[in-house]
């Protein structure tokens, strides 16, 4: 039964990846967009760094270095929350029923799709690391740090795509899913530490930012870019992200197991 599940997960994953490679424009855009973000924000905020206090708050003399982790997580967040869209298409085209009529493990559907999103995210984050490097941002933790950042991003994408897959199973239309997802992403982004240092936030916002799941992903990734191998930060935050990912996968599996059509 366990090998069966693994085989089914791989089938779903294989199909998603086949479709991913066909979408060349999407892959190109996923690199250009973060490059623009980095370039734009880096220039906008450049003046900030004349003030010595700002550099202390950012933890680095370079706003681009500060932003790199934020842009990586933003890309991951957007990639993840749209992970449920493919389920809605599968339902409309009858492909979901075709899978459900086959003797596959129901759990394979969300797990395979979330896994595909995680791999696609990893590719994108690796490309962002490359773009950032070209713009002069080097991970102080080196290639091993880049790999760990990719791992955290992949786990974070699992949280978001599982959520999206759960919503897609219940909402059944693109419009409803987009509405809910848009309602969620912007607040998640701007109440986190992704774009701006929390030190400059008002107290109430800072406490939201402290518990925002986005912050848990950004913090260790930023640590890897600008800080160094400090396991008290890295270990704790990465563990929280991993635990949330596991929880969301379990919820998604339960949702799809009770879904018959």
Partner 1 sequence: MTMKAIEVRGLTKTYPGGIRAVDQVSFWVGEGEIFGFLGPNGAGKSTTILMLTTLATPTAGSATVMGYDVTTNTDAVRRSLGYVSQDLAVDDSLTGWENLYLQARFYGLTRDEMRRRIPEVLDMVGLTSRARDLVETYSGGMRKRLDIAAGLIHRPKVLFLDEPTLGLDIQTRREIWDYITRLREESGMTIFLTTHYMEEADRLCDRIAIIDRGSIKAVGTPSELKSTLGGDVIVLRFGGTDAGVAEALARIRALPGVRDVARYGDDYRVAVQDGESTLPQFFAATQDGAAPIVRVSINRVTLDDVYLSFTGRALRDEESSREDALQQRIRMRRVRG
State which of positions 73-92 bind partner 1 (CB under 8 A).
92
Out of 25, 103, 202, 203, name the contact with partner 1 by CB under 8 A: 103
Judge contact between 70 and 218, C-beta under 8 A: yes
Backbone CA torsion sign across 26, 32, 35, 36: negative
Which residue, 50 or 258, has its beta carbon nearer to partner 1?
258
State which of positions 118-157 bind partner 1 (CB under 8 A).
none
Closest CB 111 distance from partner 1, rounded Å: 15
Which residue, 133 or 172, has its beta carbon nearer to partner 1?
172
Judge contact between 114 and 158, C-beta under 8 A: yes
User: Residue 126's closest CA among 222, 29, 30?
Assistant: 30
- Residues 6 or more apart whose CB falls under 8 angstroms from that of 261 comprise 96, 97, 100
Out of 49, 55, 85, 95, name the contact with partner 1 by CB under 8 A: 95
What is the CB neighbour count within 10 angstroms for residue 244?
Answer: 19
Number of residues that bind partner 1 (CB under 8 A): 26
Which residue, 51 or 172, has its beta carbon nearer to partner 1?
172
Kindly write out the interface string for residues 1-20 of this chain, putting x where it contacts partner 1 by CB under 8 A and - elsewhere. ---x--xx-xx--xx--xx-
Which residue, 3 or 232, has its beta carbon nearer to partner 1?
3
The string of DSSP codes covering 21-85 is HH-HHHHHHHHHHHHHHHHHHHHHTGGGGGSHHHHHHHTSS-HHHHHHHHHHHHHHHHHHHTTTH
How many Å apart are CA 233 and CA 92, to the nearest integer? 44
Residue 211 binds partner 1, judged by CB under 8 A: no
Q: Which stretch binds partner 1 (CB under 8 A): 71-79, 93-101, 160-168, 194-202?
A: 93-101
Closest CB 130 distance from partner 1, rounded Å: 27
Closest CB 92 distance from partner 1, rounded Å: 5
Judge contact between 33 and 26, C-beta under 8 A: no
Out of 43, 173, 182, 236, name the contact with partner 1 by CB under 8 A: 173
Summarize as ranges the residues that interact with partner 1 (CB under 8 A).
4, 7-8, 10-11, 14-15, 18-19, 22, 92-95, 97-104, 172-173, 260-261
């Amino acid at each position: 039964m366990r090998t069966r599940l693994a085989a089914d997960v791989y089938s779903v994953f294989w199909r998603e990846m086949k479709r991913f490679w066909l979408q060349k424009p999407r892959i190109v855009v996923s690199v250009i967009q973060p490059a623009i973000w980095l370039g734009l924000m880096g220039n906008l905020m450049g003046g900030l760094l004349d003030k010595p206090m700002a550099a202390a708050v950012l933890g680095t003399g370079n706003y681009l270095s500060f932003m790199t982790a934020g842009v990586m997580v933003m890309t991951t967040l957007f990639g993840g929350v749209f992970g449920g869209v493919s389920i809605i298409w599968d339902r409309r085209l009858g492909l979901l029923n075709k899978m459900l009529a086959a003797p596959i493990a129901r759990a394979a559907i969300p797990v395979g799709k979330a896994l595909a999103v995680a791999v696609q995210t990893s590719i994108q984050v690796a490309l962002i690391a490359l773009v950032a490097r070209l713009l002069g941002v080097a991970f102080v933790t080196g290639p091993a740090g880049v790999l760990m950042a990719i791992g955290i991003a992949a786990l974070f994408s699992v949280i978001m795509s599982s959520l999206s897959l759960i919503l897609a199973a219940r909402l059944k239309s693109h419009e409803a899913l987009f509405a809910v997802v848009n309602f969620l992403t912007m607040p998640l982004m701007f109440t986190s530490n992704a774009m701006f240092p929390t030190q400059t936030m008002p107290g109430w916002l800072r406490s939201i930012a402290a518990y925002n799941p986005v912050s848990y992903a950004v913090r260790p990734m930023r640590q890897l870019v600008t800080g160094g191998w400090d396991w008290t930060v890295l270990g704790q935050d990465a563990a929280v992200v991993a635990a949330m990912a596991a929880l969301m996968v379990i919820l998604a599996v339960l949702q799809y197991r009770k879904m018959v059509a």
